[in-house]
Structure 1
């Protein structure tokens, strides 16, 4: 049943609608009387919802698992209870029976697998949402890892994309999620990234790219690949013996220096972040191994992001701004990367950044400085909630990669001071990229001199600013109030439509024709009311 497209779409959309309805009714029921008891009930509701999502994801597989893994890293939009529950999706993906995987590999090779492999493990060594990895041996005696795509996963995922599109449409119409990210662009980026994972030819290409990138990088290895045996659904690579990077018992047993491997990891990731090119968008512990001699092995290059030249320039500006404690430069870089929407209070953002960075610099902030971290996170949360800040869709997977990577580093050493560790690497990088640094300095000089040239005009504008600001603020508040009112009415109309549909079904089932006529009339009225509110909302958006 779970492989039928309509069933999957219905199940995914209904799961999202149910979560939405439960949240709306709970908040309306307890509006104005929120206390500790209600807070506990709220947390319990979220826990049930997150568990329900995880169970459905493990049953349906496909995009549900990928989306759950992505949401488990979005602390800016997801409650902690959801994140704790959804994190399990990284390790609990059920495996596929060998006979089905065997059919995939033989269909791809057009011959029995035994003609290529001398032997292969009876069960997968690792199981993920897109594929599974088996350990095998070629007839030449070389040990290999064979990644086989899950049967029908392509059909499943492209079917799920339609369901996700419906869910995001509902989210755009009835929630404030659009304020924190562009959902349409996120959907396109999500489809592109996950779609690329289905093509193992692209993963082979990415693996060869990183192999060349790190061929002379001490302490880091990328497996060799076998293009002659690799297809769109099967990938064959060198077998690397090692354990997960966060296996502390393994590190202790082999006397591996955690500070040293942290430095290697940090330098390799900063190299991906600061330069134009590709970056590993899924650096969770299962994709970063460590060998007994302390060498790090990066694997699984199916999910890859790209740092464009323009983005690399803005990231460089942010880095230089942090090193020089020029927080205006940092804010300008963030704005250039389109994190700030119009009318953002740059001075307030600059203040929070200064506090955050100087706390790091002066106190050597570490992961276990819980009180300081909590205070800073509260300030950042207020900033995100009160300021027009968004996460551009093209950076969604970059943010996920950074947060996952930082979590790995702190799991190795909670006492780690990331900023202090990064300074020598950043300084060395700036020297090696002096041309880009000079360009940034020249741009900074131009931007510093420009206010002096335009000073007379700025004085005139300053005299007009208070009046203009009061008028803008008054107009903005009125539009915001109307917007919230119309959105609330749209939401009520939508819920009334759902209730009418339920009543129609119940009355038809019980042969209660009077109730059927009444609920049908209610449905027509609620649809007309919804359309009216929709048109009114569009007119309001056009004015704003």
Structure 2
């Protein structure tokens, strides 16, 4: 990760650290050949039309060799280093023990949730050692980017793939940090940075499945409008709930609203300490003063994330463990973009997503899906309310006993159902108003084309709600008589 951060380390350090991406000490050719024969039951000459003993790359976990299938397809054969599983296992045990001791004895890291982060990292790295899992990850990425010609995901050849050997389509191109790429015209470099950033944002917010190690050695420039992606061992997942919380945070920044940002941060946290919300709001307000008058697309994301993390730590709020790998991926993407284009800003790409998110949430199909879920929740509440009230009263310490006859439950359930119906109706209007607000904050220019339709629709929804409430109120009064 540090090898992609020119804003943190000087060039000499970056050069040395980048060697860990593809220039680790080589495994001798006879060892590689022996491993292939053990795994696949035949020699490289029998399995492939051609096989090069000179490695294309030698990274920390595996070594890659060029080969050709008997049908003429150019492939890369990755072979896991001998002994690397035991070495990684030992290192992970040390790391997890240190995280455990630090979490118990070092107050300064109490709010980092180190044990959970170390456990998740260990699980991710162990999965990276299994080439069968990497092959499955590659096919999942290929499916997600099937309609995007700008991102090339190589094909996996399963007959010559095991947990220790992976045969994958060869990608021809320049590494994204090669001198030839960095010498390209500024317009071409800007386009490549945007392609990589848009792919990263899509992985996080649309697919919920992201490449967690996008260092320059894993990205190849096939043309100025196409990037090839390799090495799918280290991946991360973002569940629907976490994606929803991240989306709320993005929209909160689009609104430039401290209260909404504070609420989004509390939703994002996995713990709920007795934190002073007003104090949190004041810290957010002070933090936002630094970005006054600047839109999300004009803000550097990495410093922004670091400041948010500091605020969360000050209020003892812990992020989901998935955020550690996600944050790493964002930092690496922004660092790579800055290497290609000194003026690159990941915030511009993320702002574009915030606009799409607002429109996506406002379309009728998604509104109805959310409202249907809220309606089911409200109906469930109404149906179970009598039982929940009885349980609550039974738990009181004053010894009060409540006896209900079945005929007494009928009006109570009917009233609860009416309340649920009104809640759902109110949610429809609230969702409509919220959708308009999010559209306005996210993209005011596009909103102008929808203005007349939204006003007409809003008036219709409000009129319908007013009529419904009047009808239910009259019906309720008649029932009471």
Shorter-chain TM band: 0.5 to 0.7
Q: 1:307 to 1:169 in 2, by over 3 A?
A: closer
Q: 1:181 to 1:206 in 2, by over 3 A?
A: same
Alignment of 1:36-435 (within 5 A): 87-88=17-18, 89-90=20-21, 92-247=23-178, 249-250=180-181, 252-253=183-184, 257-275=188-206, 277-338=208-269, 342=273, 343=275, 345-358=279-292, 360-361=294-295, 364-365=298-299, 383=311, 386-433=314-361, 434=363
In 1, the alpha carbon distance for the partners of 2:25 and 2:115 equals 31
Question: Cα deviations across residues 194-214 of structure 1 (Å, max 9, x unaligned)?
Answer: 111111111111100111111
**Alpha-carbon offset, residue 182 of structure 1:** 1.3
In 2, the alpha carbon distance for the partners of 1:378 and 1:200 equals 34
Which stretch shifts more, 301-310 or 118-127? Answer: 118-127
Say if 1:338 and 1:392, in contact at 8 Å, map to a contact too: yes
Unpaired segments ≥5 residues, structure 1: 1-68, 368-372, 450-544
**Alpha-carbon offset, residue 276 of structure 1:** 5.1
Question: Cα deviations across residues 235-294 of structure 1 (Å, max 9, x unaligned)?
Answer: 111111111223353354588712222222222211111135311111111111111353
In 2, the alpha carbon distance for the partners of 1:168 and 1:338 equals 20
Q: 1:108 to 1:442 in 2, by over 3 A?
A: farther
Q: 1:115 to 1:254 in 2, by over 3 A?
A: farther
Say if 1:219 and 1:264, in contact at 8 Å, map to a contact too: yes
In 2, the alpha carbon distance for the partners of 1:233 and 1:87 equals 26
TM-score (norm 2): 0.67
1:517 paired residue number: none
Say if 2:186 and 2:341, in contact at 8 Å, map to a contact too: no
Which stretch shifts more, 422-431 or 116-125? Answer: 422-431
Which stretch shifts more, 209-218 or 388-397? Answer: 388-397
In 2, the alpha carbon distance for the partners of 1:230 and 1:311 equals 34
**Alpha-carbon offset, residue 140 of structure 1:** 1.7
Say if 1:73 and 1:400, in contact at 8 Å, map to a contact too: no
- Greater CA radius of gyration, 1 or 2? 2
**Alpha-carbon offset, residue 231 of structure 1:** 0.8
In 1, the alpha carbon distance for the partners of 2:141 and 2:305 equals 34
In 1, the alpha carbon distance for the partners of 2:85 and 2:340 equals 36
Say if 1:256 and 1:293, in contact at 8 Å, map to a contact too: no
Question: Cα deviations across residues 41-76 of structure 1 (Å, max 9, x unaligned)?
Answer: xxxxxxxxxxxxxxxxxxxxxxxxxxxx5x88899x
**Alpha-carbon offset, residue 167 of structure 1:** 2.2
Q: 1:444 to 1:418 in 2, by over 3 A?
A: farther
**Alpha-carbon offset, residue 115 of structure 1:** 1.1
Which stretch shifts more, 92-101 or 211-220? Answer: 92-101
Say if 1:256 and 1:294, in contact at 8 Å, map to a contact too: no
**Alpha-carbon offset, residue 164 of structure 1:** 2.1
Q: 1:341 to 1:132 in 2, by over 3 A?
A: farther
Q: 1:436 to 1:262 in 2, by over 3 A?
A: farther
SS in 2 for 1:125: strand
1:484 paired residue number: none
Q: CA RMSD in A?
A: 3.6
Q: 1:170 to 1:275 in 2, by over 3 A?
A: same
Q: 1:168 to 1:382 in 2, by over 3 A?
A: closer
Q: 1:130 to 1:382 in 2, by over 3 A?
A: closer
Say if 2:211 and 2:329, in contact at 8 Å, map to a contact too: yes
In 1, the alpha carbon distance for the partners of 2:170 and 2:125 equals 25
TM-score (norm 1): 0.60
The number of residue pairs the alignment matches comes to 369
Greater length-normalized contact order (CA 8 Å, ≥ 6 residues apart): 2
In 2, the alpha carbon distance for the partners of 1:264 and 1:80 equals 25
In 1, the alpha carbon distance for the partners of 2:104 and 2:17 equals 28
Say if 1:200 and 1:302, in contact at 8 Å, map to a contact too: yes
**Alpha-carbon offset, residue 404 of structure 1:** 0.6
